Amino acid sequence: MRPILMKGHERPLTFLRYNKDGDLLFSCAKDHTPTLWFADNGERLGTYRGHNGAVWCCDVSRDSSRLITGSADQTAKLWDVKSGKELFTFKFGSPTRSVDFAVGDHLAVITTDYFVDRMAAIHVKRIAEDPEDQVSDSVLVLQCPDGKKRINRAVWGPLNQTIVSAGEDTVIRIWDTETGKLLNETNEEVGHKKAITSLCKAADDSHFLTGSHDKTAKAFFQLWDMRTLTLIKTYTTGVPVNAVAMSPLLNHVVLGGGQDASAVTTTDHRAGKFEAKFYDKILQEEIGGVKGHFGPINALAFNPDGKSFSSGGEDGYVRLHHFDSDYFNIKI
Amino acid sequence: MAIDSMQKTNKIRWGEIDEEEDDFDFLLPPKQMIGPDQNGVKKVIVYKFNDEGKKVKITTTTRVQKRALTKQAVERRSWNKFGDAANEEAGSYLTMRSTEDIILERIRAPGSNVEQSTVSGDSMSQLGKPGAVLMVCRLCHKKGDHWTSRCPQKDLLSLMDEPLTAETSTSTIAGTGTGKAAYVPPSMREGADRKAAGSDMRSRNDENAVRVTNLSEDTRGPDLMELFRPFGSVTRCHVAIDQKTSMSRGFGFVNFVSREDAQRAINTLNGYGYDNLILRVEWATPKPN
């Protein structure tokens, strides 16, 4: 396949998200400006100007009308997707790290980092239909035991009944949305050994995938069963994992990562060798890799139709890949 | 491939050509249209005269893709550009198609697709290819497939990896290898692709390696083979030879396919008198469980 290279960001990419119809791609980077692209040809449609810090995460509503972004400038902003207009700003006392719309788009979960004397927390905000009515109060605020550890991702569980959070303290926690109680968390033997960097939900919300750095210089991540938090599969790579994605069409899992520190000087200097690794979801075996990035891969996203995927790297490039027909015939 | 147009090559009488006419199109080869192939790529080759009167061949490659879009998606295609994109000209270079063709590089070719494909799937049978045995990759130990620098698992099996126990390992070897106990070969280190190395390891039989010491000077590989063959299939037997004197250095290694055979060989041949020396036969490394 011939990937489409999109160099709209001057700084490393942090997050990529497709809309539900699969025709729009949102990219977030450390350069303060989330960008909107067409997902078929990579043509840039627009940028959302307003943030003053690195944008860590974004989510788009189901009808692709609203975009929410979380940034290091201690705000999360609501935007009108079509015009690029800023609709509302949620102000926090610390940088926001992760945002996620609930099913139905009437709620959003936003995580904030530890900063000065504010502990890291998970906030739930109500999203009003009419931006004029939007208020900034939190419906619910959750805190992890170690408030100094970043919560890298927090997403809604099936039917918004739970919130799943994962972060630097290596523990995945499931919270009850109604009561705010901690329902479940991973224990040491089963959980990750290092900070969890990324989380991806399955299309039907039945399982999710987490990627993590690991002290043993071997990154593996596990696929968890959301309702009961059971480890189902583990995928091993040789590099710390920065981003994970699941194909909605085939049983494939993609991991994007960096390069292990010990390998930096010993591997050859061919450029474009950072790859997104494909694994068979059920067999846990590596299928292959798609090379091309000049820096570690920080973001991965699959198009909801499963026929293309995009990766964003430390090099500031977004690479959009449309699969060839042989991808769909891969046999292990 | 369909050649679209046909033109009769008429002999043009130069005397009949009207000098003022610019249109010499009849001199050009016909337009070619190479229809959509399996990826939907269509090529149109057109010949023209450019401004300097030179014949120019223009190849246009297009991929024809049919996409089903929702109504809203279609509506979104007609949105105006906003933000930083509002001032863009049509020819901006933010978005470009890669010049390289990137493929999903398979980690190892699936059994049925390998060029040196074998019925048994045993990498040892790659020896059929001339020169194949000599091409050994230091990382994944596949013989005859690729050199170390071309190893598809380069980052996974970096030569600098620390030896560590691995959770996913199915075998119970802890740091075995041929030779020194402290050295852990890449395929056994933490981070190594054991599933790839698994079957290869068996064929290399690192864990079924037997060291034979106190060999006489003129013992060679075939002698060892003959001696150990009765105990089971031997994949490899090697005698350390001093290059200068061409004599055996007194020790060698025998790799068995099965562990039990190796164990029996050890039990039987340790202390065996061979060529007027008493052999010492043991596991090649500190005895693994």
Across the interface, do B83 and A49 touch by the CB < 8 Å criterion?
A: yes
Show residues of chain A in contact with B167, CB under 8 Å: 220, 234
Tens digit of pLDDT for each residue in A112-150?
A: 999 888 899 999 999 998 888 888 888 889 988 888 999
Is B193–A286 a contact, with Cβ atoms under 8 angstroms apart? yes
pLDDT at B11: 61
Nearest CA in chain A to B83: A47
Confidence check: pLDDT of A161 > 60: yes
Q: Do A236 and B168 touch (CB under 8 A)?
A: yes
- Alpha carbon of B56: minimum distance to chain A alpha carbons (Å): 27
CA–CA gap between residue B67 and residue B250 (Å, rounded):
72
Neighbouring C-alpha atoms within 13 Å toward the C-beta of B62: 9
Q: Which residues of A touch B90 (CB under 8 A)?
A: none
Q: Which residue did the predictor score with more confidence, B141 or B49?
A: B49
Count of CB contacts below 8 A, A vs B? 154
Q: Does B149 touch chain A (CB under 8 A)?
A: yes
Nearest to B60 by CA among B27, B40, B83, B34: B34
Q: Judged by CB atoms within 8 Å, which residues 228-267 of B form the interface with A?
A: none
Contact list, A331 vs chain B (CB under 8 Å)? 110, 112
Taking CB atoms and an 8 Å limit, are A46 and B85 in contact across chains? yes
H or E element at residue A312 = strand A308-313
Share of chain B above pLDDT 70, in %: 57
CB contacts, 8 Å: B61 with chain A? none
N- to C-terminal Cα separation, chain A: 20
Amino acid identity of B2?
A
Note whether ipTM > 0.90 here.
Answer: no
Q: To the nearest 10°, the Cα dihedral for A240, A244, A246, A252?
A: -20
Q: Is the pLDDT of residue B33 over 80?
A: yes
Q: Which residue of chain A has the CA closest to B154?
A: A267
For B278, phi then psi, to 5°, come to: -90, 120
Q: Nearest by CB to A290, from B83, B95, B102: name it.
A: B102
Is residue B91 less than 8 Å (CB to CB) from chain A?
Answer: no
Q: Which residues of A touch B186 (CB under 8 A)?
A: none
Q: What is the pLDDT of residue B179?
A: 43
Contact A262 B158 (CB under 8 A): yes
Match 């975009």 to its residue by tokens.
A67
Residue pLDDT, tens place only, A19-50: 999 999 999 999 999 999 999 889 999 999 99
A180-215: pLDDT as tens digits? 888 888 877 777 888 889 888 888 877 788 888 873
Q: CB–CB of A260 and B158 under 8 A?
A: yes
Q: CB of A44 within 8 A of CB of B137?
A: no
Task: State the smallest CA–CA distance between residue B153 and chain A in angstroms.
Answer: 10
- Nearest beta carbon to residue B82 from set A4, A22, A46: A46
Closest CA to B115 of B151, B72, B144: B144
Q: Do B81 and A237 touch (CB under 8 A)?
A: no
Contacts of A291 in chain B (CB under 8 A): 102, 105
- Cβ <8 Å between A83 and B72: no
Task: For residue A175, list its beta bridge partners.
Answer: A163, A182
* Model confidence pLDDT, tens digit, residues B203-262: 455 678 889 999 988 888 888 888 888 888 888 888 988 888 888 888 999 888 888 888
Contact B155 A263 (CB under 8 A): yes
CB contact under 8 A, B83 and A291: no
Question: In this model, does residue B268 exceed pLDDT 50?
Answer: yes
Q: Tens of pLDDT along B96-133?
A: 888 888 888 887 655 444 333 333 334 444 444 445 55
